């Protein structure tokens, strides 16, 4: 059995999986994310991640040498690549890890791909950069951090006035948002063309030779904009896809090109794509499993996503064969209006839906909540699962139309 080094933060789905399958692990935990760093735990070693010399020293002093290195959170992809390189284990090439965690470098790599797969963009260093880009490209335009996750501070702008206002607001919030969610990273903004079309995601596992093993099970997204919010969060993730077979093949082809363009190896790949009138265009690729994918693909398709990630980290070929096709939806609930959290409308009926698999209310009564674009996270997560198409559709429609986050 293998000994796995988990870099940065614990992911309970992974640790439970490892122990249940007879593996062992050590968590190399970020000191910033550790409430009691001086306490001794069997599977944990605490370190800072600002100095990689310190991190590598901690790794070299481990009692048991790792057989694989895994990072499940964006902030630790680069550190994991450096550790794997130091230990001579399968892992992401360091330059590829840099491209996967910085949208500027990512976009530059996509521009060299054999086919067009991404939008025009520019790194923003001043308000003048924003204004200049706007003179050369049509609205709407997207302003976003280059290296944050979860749609934090991402805004869609329909006019120069709105763009400049959101730029100034983003600059004001940039330092505090990075400090809270991506400490140690250098804040950076980019502006890019808005891609008109629906959002989808493709999951893949890239082997040690750089060959992407792409799941055929495409996830359909709805954004906040799709359901009438002035916010760019991912409202729903749904399996199976409603796309035509032709469009599905185009998305899978685009995902393969994107992973190869970044030079990824020995890593999961979470690829977000917009299907435009001119074909699929990649929003971004994360060197990790997509959010909720372990649950989604297991329930909908019978695919062991955690096992596939482990196989990839060990240098083996992942098993991604689909065994069924059930209906699954993951919904992230945000308030339409910022304010103090009151509750979720019709929560009692929500809890009694036959398709309800999971409900987690993150917000506490009286706490202030708001838009993803302003740096807030979801108020609640809902997961629906049902093999009955009619019942699933009925329950999904009920949540979308009747289970709103209430604020005052």
CATH class of 120-193: alpha beta
Percent of the chain scoring above 70 in pLDDT = 100
Q: Where are the domains of the chain?
A: 3-89, 120-193, 198-407
Residue 338's CB: how many other CB atoms inside 10 A? 13
State the average pLDDT over residues 152-177.
94
Residue 289's CB: how many other CB atoms inside 10 A? 23
**Cα–Cα dist 246/268, whole Å:** 25
Using an 8 Å Cβ cutoff, are 250 and 342 in contact? Answer: no
* Record: fold of 198-407: D-amino Acid Aminotransferase; Chain A, domain 1 (3.30.470)
**DSSP code of residue 227:** G
What is the DSSP annotation of 154-179?
Answer: -EEESSHHHHHHHHHHHHHHHHHHHH
Using an 8 Å Cβ cutoff, are 294 and 305 in contact? Answer: yes
**pLDDT tens track for 60-76:** 999 999 999 999 999 99
Query: Given pLDDT bands bounded at 50, 70 and 90, which one contains residue 35?
Result: confident
If we measure between CA atoms, which residue out of 153, 15, 7 comes closest to residue 80? Answer: 7
**pLDDT tens track for 4-26:** 999 999 999 999 999 999 999 99
Model confidence, pTM: 0.86
CATH number of 3-89: 3.40.50.20
Report whether pLDDT(151) > 80: no
The residue to which tokens 């870099």 are assigned: 7
**Cα–Cα dist 390/382, whole Å:** 19
**Cα–Cα dist 56/47, whole Å:** 10
Q: In CATH terms, are 3-89 and 120-193 the same topology?
A: no
Cα-flanking dihedrals φ and ψ of residue 175, to 5°? -60, -45
Cis, bond preceding 240 (omega within 30 deg of 0): yes
């Amino acid at each position: 059995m293998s000994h796995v080094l988990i870099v940065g933060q614990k992911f309970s789905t992974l640790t439970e999986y490892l122990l249940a399958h007879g593996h062992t692990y050590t968590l190399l935990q970020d000191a910033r994310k550790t409430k009691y760093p001086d306490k001794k735990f069997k599977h944990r070693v605490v370190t800072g991640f600002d100095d990689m010399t310190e991190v590598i020293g901690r790794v070299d002093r481990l009692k048991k040498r790792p057989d694989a290195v895994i990072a499940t959170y964006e902030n630790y992809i680069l550190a994991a690549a450096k550790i794997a390189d130091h230990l001579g284990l399968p892992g992401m090439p360091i330059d590829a890890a840099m491209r996967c965690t910085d949208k500027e470098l990512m976009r530059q790599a996509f521009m060299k791909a054999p086919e067009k797969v991404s939008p025009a963009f520019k790194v923003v260093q001043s308000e003048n950069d924003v204004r200049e880009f706007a003179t050369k490209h049509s609205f709407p335009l997207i302003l976003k951090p280059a290296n944050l996750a979860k749609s934090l501070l991402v805004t869609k702008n329909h006019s120069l006035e709105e763009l400049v206002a959101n730029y100034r607001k983003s600059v004001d919030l940039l330092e505090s948002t990075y400090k809270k969610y991506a400490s140690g990273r250098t804040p950076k903004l980019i502006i890019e063309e808005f891609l008109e079309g629906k959002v989808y995601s493709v999951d893949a596992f890239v082997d040690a030779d750089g060959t992407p093993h792409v799941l055929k099970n495409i996830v359909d997204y709805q954004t906040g904009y799709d359901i009438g919010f002035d916010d760019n969060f991912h409202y729903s993730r749904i399996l199976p896809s409603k796309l035509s077979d032709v469009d599905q093949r185009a998305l899978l082809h685009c995902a393969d090109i994107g992973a190869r363009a970044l030079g990824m190896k020995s890593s999961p790949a979470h690829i977000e794509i917009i299907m435009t009138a001119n074909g699929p265009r990649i929003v971004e690729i994360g060197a990790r499993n997509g959010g909720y994918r372990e649950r989604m693909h297991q329930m909908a398709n019978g695919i062991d996503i955690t096992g596939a990630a482990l196989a990839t980290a060990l240098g083996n070929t992942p098993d991604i064969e689909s065994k069924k096709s059930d209906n699954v939806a993951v919904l992230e609930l945000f308030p339409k209006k910022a304010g103090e959290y009151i509750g979720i409308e019709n929560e009692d009926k929500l809890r009694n839906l036959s398709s309800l698999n999971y409900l987690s209310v993150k917000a506490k009564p009286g706490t202030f909540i708001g838009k993803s674009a302003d740096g807030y996270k979801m108020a609640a997560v809902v997961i629906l699962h049902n093999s009955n198409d009619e019942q699933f559709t009925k329950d999904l429609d009920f949540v979308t139309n009747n289970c709103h986050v209430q604020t005052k």
